[in-house]
Structures are given as C-alpha cells and as structure tokens.
Chain A
Amino acid sequence: MLFEFETNIYERPKNDILDLDDGFTKGNMFADIYDEYKDYKPKMIKAQNEREALLFNIYKLDFAINDLNLYLALNPDDKSVYQLFTKYCLMYRKCVEEYEKKYQVLELTDDTFGKYTWGSNPWPWEGEYV
C-alpha cells in the first residue's frame, strides 16, 4: 500500500491534555470534555502565602493524577498518558513530603516527625489553609 494512515483525522484528539493550572481551574484535564456554563469563567486559585502555594501545588497534582486515572482506567495501554501520570505521581510525593516537613501532616502514616500531630488544627473544613 502506498499510503497508510495510522490516525483518523476526523476523530477528536483524545490526548489534548491541559496543564496543571488550567486543568485544576476548569476541573478537567482533557480539553475535549470541558463544558463551560453560561458565561461563567472559572478563576485560577491564588495563594496568599508560601504555605498555600505549596499546598495548592499538591491540590493540582492530586487532581491531575485522579483525572488521568479515570482515563487510564478505560485506556490502560496509553503510554503517553501513563508517562504523564507517573511524572505527576512522583512530583506529588515530593511536594507532600516538603509540605509535611514544613507545615502539617496530610497523611496519617507520615506523622513520624517525633511528636503526634495528626489531630492538630486546622482541619480541611475550617477554611484556613484549605
């Protein structure tokens, strides 16, 4: 055969993946699934201080990992998405480690810094350092 087309150009691109900021702001990592409501524009969250900045990075990574996971559940052989998933998972672990050392433990099994702190305020529903 003279010409062989591997991809169907009329198919919507499946892997049009948004970056961490944009994905988190929109609540969706896959550009083709995003659906705006009326003329509401989701705003990027702004950190008020260093602690929030680091925590929001954790939020964004956790979100991206979760949304990529829903895609990978149905497309486990997509190597490029899995590669991105792996990258975000490793970044997530690093950010969590840094945040927990500096500020507050986020996971019970990480409460190993010499003093029991799991019960310490603020809890996530209290609005401060959400």
Chain B
Amino acid sequence: MFKYDKKLPYPINIKKKDLKMAKYIITQFGGANGELGAALRYFSQKFSMPTEEGKNLLNSIATEEFGHNEMICTMVHQLMKGATLEEIEEAGLSSMYTEHGKGIYPTDSNGVPFSVTVFNSVGDPIADLVEDMAAEQKARVTYEHLIDLACDEDVIQPLLFLRQREIVHFERFKELYEKYKKMGY
C-alpha cells in the first residue's frame, strides 16, 4: 500500500509566473519520458522481479517516482498561478485551457495526453531492466532540455535535482542488470 507524506521530495516555491515553462515542464508528467510513465513502468514490472534485490529496487524507485510526479505537477501549478486569459493566449495555451482550464492533466508539451504505450512490462527481468535504463537516460535528456529553456533559479534547482535522480536510478538499474546477467537470467 501507499502512504502519503505531506511534503515533497525537494522544496518547490516558484514565485514568478511563466506559462511557457509550464507548457514545457508538463511533459515530465504526461510525456513519453515523464515521471508518470516511469512510476507506472517500475510499479508494473516489480511483480516479475525474481530476487529480493530486484523486488526492492523496482518497488523503491517506483515509489520515489510517484513523489517526482507531485514535484512536476507542483511546478506547473505554481508557474500558472494567477494567469490571466490574455497571458494564456500569449503563451499558446488556449487549446490546453479549452480542455483543462488551469487544471493539471498529464500531457506532453504538445498537449498530447499520456499514454501507457510509452512503457512495457514483459515479465522478463533482463528485457524490463534494459528498458528501464534507456528510460532513465531519456528522462535525463528531457530534463537537460528543460534546464536549457529555464531562466528562473526556482525552476532550475528542482530540475537539476530531478535530473541527477535519473542518473542515480540508471546506475542502480545497471547494477541489477549486471547481477542478473551473471546469475544467468
């Protein structure tokens, strides 16, 4: 089961409205390389991990990713706070506004809704772990693109934190993959 802690993994307090940045960052919630896909991917795959190490690692990282989803949504929510219709139009968010108002909804930065087809779970630890390693690298690159586009420290700092988490997860998945290879999976 899951229990909610009334805190984020890393503090987010964005004071400057930036609708364009909100439009870009939302992809780390609902995009192909985003945190929702990551959380669901590891959550689904944990059921077929063959050893204690694998069950623990996939479960722990899945749980962490759910917290990252809350960080991403928090950033988008704060970046859009107090936005006027005029500002929404200017940022090219009118069609997003039509569908979702100022609500948080998992899409990529083009407004394409989240799809579970961005990940798979095939019941084979080697195949799943190779997907996980690739996913962490793609998420890292997406964070780098976002950091390149950002100019507010309140936005850049949490993005740097999340980018580093992708690197740590990649390393851990790789270690598990190598262990399983040695064990003959």
Contacts and interface: CB of A to CB of B under 8 A. Distances in A.
Do A and B interact with each other, yes or no?
A: yes
B78 to A, nearest CB: 5
Given A33-B171, A66-B60, A59 B53 contact: no
Interface stretch (A1-9, A82-90, A101-109): A101-109
Interface stretch (B10-18, B84-92, B106-114): B10-18
A125 B74 contact: yes
Contact of A70 (B5, B12, B61, B179): B61
A50 interface: no
B115 interface: no
Contact of A106 (B6, B61, B175): B6
A40 B164 contact: no
A56 to B, nearest CB: 7
Nearest to B143: A37
Interface in B109-156: 144, 147, 153, 156
A73 B164 contact: no
A125 B69 CA distance: 11
9 contacts: A27-B161, A59-B11, A73-B60, A74-B57, A124-B6, A124-B8, A125-B77, A125-B78, A130-B11
A59 B147 contact: no
B165 interface: yes
Given A45-B11, A124-B7, A127-B78, A27 B164 contact: yes
B73 interface: yes
- Ranked nearest first, the 10 interchain pairs of A and B with the lowest CB-CB distance are A27-B164, A130-B11, A125-B74, A27-B161, A73-B56, A73-B57, A127-B13, A106-B6, A124-B8, A42-B160
A10 B101 CA distance: 57
Give the one of A33, A34, A125 with max B CB within 10 A: A125
A85 to B, nearest CB: 13
Interface residue SS majority, chain B: helix
A40 B147 contact: yes
Contacts of A33: 167-168, 171
A16 B5 CA distance: 29
Nearest to A109: B3
A110 B160 CA distance: 32
Interface residues of B, number: 44
Nearest to A66: B64
Contacts of B4: 108
B9 interface: yes
A70 B77 contact: no
A67 interface: yes
A67 B168 contact: yes
A74 B176 contact: yes
A17 B173 CA distance: 19
B102 interface: no
Contact of B70 (A37, A43, A55, A125): A125
